[in-house]
Chains A and B, each alone.
Chain A
Amino acid sequence: MRALASWLAFLPPSRGTLQMLRRRLELAKRGLTILQMRREMLARELVLLLSELRRRREAEEAFARALQRAAELRASRGEIEFRSMASLARPPRIELVAVSYQGVPVRQARVTGEPDLSAVHDPEFREVAEELWRALAGMIEVANVEEAAAEVGKQLVSINQVANSLERSVIPSLEDAVKRVEEWVANRELEDFVRARRLRGG
């Protein structure tokens, strides 16, 4: 901002400079309008994401319950049987993909393959494994929303900084500079007019 202020202060006052400054001011104002619209869009998206994050507590509780049940099953069957039965469950396939939230790229975990529990014949093990997977899938969804909220929030902060800078510093500085150069140009025009009248024999 200091660089802009010093650049503006040392601009040679002329009609050309005035035209250039007016173009820049116009551009800055248009940019600000666009950024304000984007800020609103992102803010709306963030509010939506945050409302979805209310499920987090519920998902965490479900996950904690499922873990506790799995721990109890492990303790009730003993390590040897538990480990042996657990080896029958084929893990889910999860991939990281980039998803756009209002144009903000966000890394998201996508379940591309459900866990295969078909070989787990013990009903108790299967129930616990299914409950654990449901809870884990819920946690993955919450983690995706959290990641999206964090990225959208980061983008919002960055846009806010630029918009604030335009609104509070760049545009007022440009307006001041335009005003200053306009006054100078007007004075020059007045001087030229007076000089021309004198020359015409006034």
Chain B
Amino acid sequence: MELYAVVRAHGLKSRLLRRNDYEAIAGGEKGLYEYPDYSAVSDRDALEEKVEKVYRVYVRRVSLLASLTPELSPLLNALLDRLEFENSKIQLRRLVGGGAHALFYPYGRHIGPSRLSALRSWEEVWGALSEAGLVETPAPEEKSLAGWELALDLAYCRHLLRGVEGSKVSRRSKRALERAALTECSIALSRWSRALGADAVLEAVSGVGLSGVCELLRGVAAKSWSAAEADRLLASEVAKPLEEEYPLEAPFLYAFEIYARLEARNLEKVLTGLHLGLSSGDALKFCAIAL
């Protein structure tokens, strides 16, 4: 099944948008609905509807691969669960910010936006994640939003590494997947060093026992990457090596997930840029176009 899923992933990858496609969409030469996977996205949709439909495509693609490969579903589902953690952060910001209408990622294998939006405190959010098996420790005693969000990011890293651990793949593939997951986590966590300071992040990471991430993070914690740079790094440092070294093995699925995720993010950025009336160049400059 692993090989079959990899072959399907190659098929799905061939449908991912290329640079010229992004340029055509950003330049207004082509509508997003002209691409078969995005035929549901109408020009008449509001921005939030378009973004939601774009993420649905990403979730559908990765869910398909997860359903095809039970041996790899822990990893693929863990990768998708990132959206549950992101939604949890969105709900916490909503609670801190006074309950404004929030836009959630359209994903809810465990909790889902409707249940999440009814939760009223950090403890409730963490409790829901704990019930769903996404976190294994009691709620950290954090008082600030930044502390809560960092705790969620750390919990996601642990969840992802558990997903790698739970996948039934060859030892070689597992090592590659673990390395990729650690790199991804270190890139994601390094962004906290700007807000909280590199030492505080390193301390938090070592505090939850993510020693592998800690080692990688030491090298990159002082870097100050923008969101786009972090995305580009994800493509060049994680997805590309996996794709090149393991074209017919499980790690390719991880690479595909990153490409699909980046496509969703890129489209979100392009659609937002177009909505704001930015030029085609400005709308594209924040994208991490890997293909």
Indicate if the CB atoms of B89 and A84 lie closer than 8 Å: yes
Q: Mask for B188-204, Cβ within 8 A of A = 1, else 0?
A: 00000011100000000
**B269 neighbours in A (Cβ, 8 Å):** 75-78
Identify the interface centre among A82, A84, A119, A123: most chain B CB within 10 Å of its CB.
A84
Provide the bound-state CA to CA distance between A74 and B273, in Å: 8
From B71-79, B95-103, B243-251, the one touching the partner chain is B95-103
Provide the bound-state CA to CA distance between A82 and B268, in Å: 11
Q: How large is the interface on B (under 10, 10 to 19, 20 to 34, 35 or more residues)?
A: 35 or more
Indicate if the CB atoms of B283 and A75 lie closer than 8 Å: yes
Indicate if the CB atoms of B146 and A121 lie closer than 8 Å: yes
**A90 neighbours in B (Cβ, 8 Å):** 97-98
Indicate if the CB atoms of A79 and B195 lie closer than 8 Å: no
Would you call B265 an interface residue if the criterion is a C-beta within 8 Å of the partner chain's C-beta atoms?
yes
Which positions 125-145 of chain B face chain A at CB distance < 8 Å?
144-145
Nearest-neighbour CB distance to chain B for A65, whole angstroms, equals 14
Which positions 244-286 of chain B face chain A at CB distance < 8 Å?
265, 268-269, 271-273, 275-278, 282-283, 286
Provide the bound-state CA to CA distance between A90 and B184, in Å: 33
Identify the interface centre among B96, B97, B105, B228: most chain A CB within 10 Å of its CB.
B97
Nearest-neighbour CB distance to chain A for B107, whole angstroms, equals 12
Indicate if the CB atoms of A84 and B103 lie closer than 8 Å: yes
Instruction: Classify the secondary structure of A's interface with B.
Output: helix
Would you call B226 an interface residue if the criterion is a C-beta within 8 Å of the partner chain's C-beta atoms?
yes
Q: Mask for A53-77, Cβ within 8 A of B = 1, else 0?
A: 0000000000000000001101111
Would you call A179 an interface residue if the criterion is a C-beta within 8 Å of the partner chain's C-beta atoms?
no
Instruction: How many A-B residue pairs have C-beta atoms within 8 angstroms? Tell me.
Output: 82
Which positions 94-126 of chain B face chain A at CB distance < 8 Å?
94, 96-98, 100, 102-105
With A84-B93, A87-B93, A87-B100 known as contacts, the answer to whether A74 contacts B272 (CB < 8 A) is: yes
Count of residues in A whose CB is under 8 Å from the partner chain: 22
Indicate if the CB atoms of A88 and B278 lie closer than 8 Å: no
Would you call B208 an interface residue if the criterion is a C-beta within 8 Å of the partner chain's C-beta atoms?
no
Indicate if the CB atoms of B51 and A72 lie closer than 8 Å: no
Would you call A35 an interface residue if the criterion is a C-beta within 8 Å of the partner chain's C-beta atoms?
no
Indicate if the CB atoms of A123 and B195 lie closer than 8 Å: yes
Indicate if the CB atoms of A75 and B145 lie closer than 8 Å: no
Nearest-neighbour CB distance to chain B for A37, whole angstroms, equals 52
With A79-B51, A80-B105, A123-B195 known as contacts, the answer to whether A88 contacts B93 (CB < 8 A) is: yes
Would you call B149 an interface residue if the criterion is a C-beta within 8 Å of the partner chain's C-beta atoms?
yes
Neighbour of A78 across the interface among B94, B104, B268, CB < 8 A: B268
Instruction: Classify the secondary structure of B's interface with A.
Output: helix
Provide the bound-state CA to CA distance between A90 and B207, in Å: 33
**A89 neighbours in B (Cβ, 8 Å):** 97
Would you call A83 an interface residue if the criterion is a C-beta within 8 Å of the partner chain's C-beta atoms?
yes
Would you call A85 an interface residue if the criterion is a C-beta within 8 Å of the partner chain's C-beta atoms?
yes
Indicate if the CB atoms of A77 and B276 lie closer than 8 Å: no
Provide the bound-state CA to CA distance between A74 and B276, in Å: 9
Q: Mask for A77-101, Cβ within 8 A of B = 1, else 0?
A: 1111011110111100000000000
Would you call B12 an interface residue if the criterion is a C-beta within 8 Å of the partner chain's C-beta atoms?
no
Q: Mask for B43-63, Cβ within 8 A of A = 1, else 0?
A: 000011001000000000000
**A74 neighbours in B (Cβ, 8 Å):** 272, 276
**A80 neighbours in B (Cβ, 8 Å):** 51, 86, 90, 103-105, 268
With A84-B103, A87-B102, A119-B96 known as contacts, the answer to whether A79 contacts B194 (CB < 8 A) is: no
Lowest 7 CB-CB distances: which A-B pairs, in order? A121-B146, A87-B97, A76-B286, A78-B268, A75-B273, A87-B100, A88-B97
Known pairs A79-B48, A83-B103, A84-B102. 15 more at Cβ < 8 A? A71-B276, A74-B276, A75-B269, A75-B283, A78-B268, A78-B269, A83-B102, A87-B97, A88-B93, A88-B145, A119-B93, A119-B97, A121-B145, A123-B194, A123-B195
B interface, CB within 8 angstroms of A: 47-48, 51, 86, 89-90, 93-94, 96-98, 100, 102-105, 144-146, 149, 194-196, 226-228, 265, 268-269, 271-273, 275-278, 282-283, 286
Q: Could you write out 27 A-B pairs with CB less than 8 Å apart?
A: A71-B273, A72-B278, A72-B286, A74-B276, A75-B269, A75-B283, A76-B226, A76-B269, A77-B269, A79-B51, A79-B271, A80-B51, A82-B272, A84-B102, A84-B103, A87-B93, A87-B94, A87-B100, A90-B98, A119-B97, A119-B145, A121-B146, A121-B195, A121-B196, A122-B195, A123-B194, A124-B226
